[in-house]
Structure 1
């Protein structure tokens, strides 16, 4: 037994971080039939459960942890599985601020079993005298008028909504519990019907009118059900999966977001869209990590539409790199910028380590002016794929040197501290100080650092600088009286995906749409500009199980904090936008752009 205790103590310590994190949360978990868990008591307690249930059956003067006599396991008693571990927890001061009720569900004869429970508990004074621990009798219980006959450390689970005339009896009631199936047949998927919802809410309200916490038993055991119980104000959320319920509910606050960001939807004219007119300019907008669910979350949080969702030419691209099922931003950016799939971490290099000509270098040979705008550092993996050639994305010194000798006429991004202004100016880049200066500049090559290091997020007060840089950058390039190519990256959708933060994903996506609107407006104004919007990959395996459009609320969830291999959408607008429909490799985007520009690939 002591070896088992040591093992489960180790398990507890490994999970203690979760316990401490839950102490301030507004939910409480009830571990139903906890004795059936792989690690009874320890698993539930380590995951912050505030109520743990054990069925007990009295036989031969021993309280066994079992539902039925036929299932008795000799070593599984209330003492070995619960009281001894609780004693050890108190001695070691583990989770000492965690409130806990041990709900003892009597399955054998009421009075003799309860008498034995009292006798056993009296052998554990450090438990019964602990102000954070409550002993609650459930199952076969005495009558309410008999509650007063039991010691002060014994409380009861009251299982009806009828009032108890005797206040002394009410004082012995720890909680009210009722069977969920008595009020609804809901299976935990979708939502409660309006009629059933009213029944359930009325029941909870009635229980709370007695100023006691409430629990449903036999509830559906799913994320949807846990959230429903949480939102309805059920005090103890019943579950057979305390570990999973804890992780889900613990993160619920960070996964539910009520949006305040706004993208005013621009409705395109469609005059040039899907026509066969010649394409003069190309704007490629990349939402880093912006998969279909990320887009959906921004759409629904923005009232059901974005400028992006007004577009008609839609496809999907496959994102695998040459050496991995799941790409990184370097390999994905290189595929988009060069038309060649390469290995993860590569910036503008082929799988065999040779420099690849990128689209800005190729178009320079055809008298195009080019630019890159990003909410990342300008030496980040995606933007650098359009001007640099380095074997590893972390070689930022080499990438910075490549920027100095690049063919770009415009760059906007963070990371100014990585550069020497004199070096930039010595390579003909004029460094501006404000985004408004971009449009009016008469210089041939200009740059703007929007931060010295990392660029702040929208939630951190960045404002609409991405849209402003896009608008003013387009004006700058357009004044050159030459065809141009502009890459615009919304980098931090990916950042918040890695951090599993819904608010950031939604707001960065909406902010991206404001920049997209500027590109579409420009395309409508010129009539000869093609706009392509896509992602380099999806980040976080983002899902969106629930939300509320009236309240601009979305609930997100995540399968990883890394990239995934799922296909990502691609949208296009303007002349020849239909060329971008269908399903194809990410490297084909480069070739399709050259095709609509009537530039032969032999120009490589």
Structure 2
């Protein structure tokens, strides 16, 4: 679908979404607790859904991803430069709605789940250092919303911001004694001197590290490799995520998701919110 046509479809979808019925799990939630969040569910390119953030929250996702561009001091959310829209800012789509939701839920994104931080993965598409420094100024405006690193200690907040994308963001982050965001590492960072207080998440491209795409049994060597990665990361207090896993509905996708769960991978990446929600519910996750 052409990009312009796709944006029109998303706009129409957003208008229709406002009249959608409240999901059954939300109707059935008990007083004092909302729907159980799916901490392992990660909404890849979340902003491309008809209702950014809110669709993921309706499907109980514990993590969402937003790509940002620094344009004249504004942080605009889009996948490609052609899609940049001055009304689609990080504040309007994510920061302000999250802050409002946390206030309404007395300190948590999901009502009654105060010990379950919500992850906001921010993928920087413009030059990393300058974009991060501007992002840091934006995050400072949201007092008590974000997990912070302060002089060697991590203080948990309702939302944990993790910075991905352009790798030049790392240097200014490492230099800060106080920050409201963390760094998304790669497999090359696994076992490095950088602590989990800087790199709490290890993410990498599935297709560059594994040949198996869900057809037939996973090769024993690749299963061992996957589990070794997870074990090594967890020993250091780091979580694991892979992008570019199969994401077309069917047995291959479910086979890969099943191996990821069995290995202890912390975040499953998808564009299909309902599909992953159903899979995780069926597997008691």
The TM-score normalised by the length of structure 1 is 0.38
Secondary structure at 2:265's aligned position in 1?
coil
**C-alpha separation between the residues in 2 aligned to 1:185 and 1:202?**
16
1:165 counterpart = 2:193: yes
Q: Deviations along 1:458-511, whole A, 9 cap, x unmatched?
A: xxxxxxxxxxxxxxxxxxxxxxxxxxxxxxxxxxxxxxxxxxxxxxxxxxxxxx
- After TM superposition, list the pairs within 5 Å mapping 1:124-273 onto structure 2: 124-128=142-146, 131-142=157-168, 146-150=172-176, 151-162=178-189, 163-167=191-195, 170-221=196-247, 222-253=253-284
Q: Answer with 1 or 2: which has the greater Rg.
A: 1
> Could you say if the C-alpha distance between residues 13 and 99 of structure 1 is closer, same or farther in structure 2, counting changes exceeding 3 Å?
farther
Q: CA deviation at 1:198?
A: 2.3
Secondary structure at 1:50's aligned position in 2?
strand
- Gaps in structure 2 of 5+ consecutive residues: 1-13, 148-155, 248-252
Aligned length: 247
Aligned to 1:81: 93
> Could you say if the C-alpha distance between residues 214 and 10 of structure 1 is closer, same or farther in structure 2, counting changes exceeding 3 Å?
same
Given that residues 40 and 61 in structure 2 are in contact (C-alpha distance below 8 angstroms), is that contact kept between their aligned partners in structure 1?
yes
Q: CA deviation at 1:8?
A: 5.9
Aligned to 1:47: 59
- Gaps in structure 1 of 5+ consecutive residues: 255-604
Aligned to 2:9: none
- Measured on the aligned residues, the alpha-carbon RMSD in Å equals 2.9
**C-alpha separation between the residues in 2 aligned to 1:15 and 1:253?**
15
> Could you say if the C-alpha distance between residues 223 and 65 of structure 1 is closer, same or farther in structure 2, counting changes exceeding 3 Å?
same
**C-alpha separation between the residues in 2 aligned to 1:127 and 1:137?**
16
> Could you say if the C-alpha distance between residues 166 and 21 of structure 1 is closer, same or farther in structure 2, counting changes exceeding 3 Å?
closer
Given that residues 132 and 169 in structure 2 are in contact (C-alpha distance below 8 angstroms), is that contact kept between their aligned partners in structure 1?
no
Q: Deviations along 1:335-393, whole A, 9 cap, x unmatched?
A: xxxxxxxxxxxxxxxxxxxxxxxxxxxxxxxxxxxxxxxxxxxxxxxxxxxxxxxxxxx
> Could you say if the C-alpha distance between residues 144 and 71 of structure 1 is closer, same or farther in structure 2, counting changes exceeding 3 Å?
closer
**C-alpha separation between the residues in 1 aligned to 2:19 and 2:89?**
19
- After TM superposition, list the pairs within 5 Å mapping 1:385-464 onto structure 2: none
Q: Deviations along 1:242-274, whole A, 9 cap, x unmatched?
A: 2220122112239xxxxxxxxxxxxxxxxxxxx
- After TM superposition, list the pairs within 5 Å mapping 1:65-144 onto structure 2: 65-93=77-105, 95-96=110-111, 97=113, 98-128=116-146, 131-142=157-168
**C-alpha separation between the residues in 2 aligned to 1:137 and 1:239?**
19
Q: CA deviation at 1:205?
A: 2.3
> Could you say if the C-alpha distance between residues 103 and 174 of structure 1 is closer, same or farther in structure 2, counting changes exceeding 3 Å?
same
**C-alpha separation between the residues in 2 aligned to 1:9 and 1:142?**
43
Secondary structure at 2:157's aligned position in 1?
coil
**C-alpha separation between the residues in 1 aligned to 2:246 and 2:260?**
10
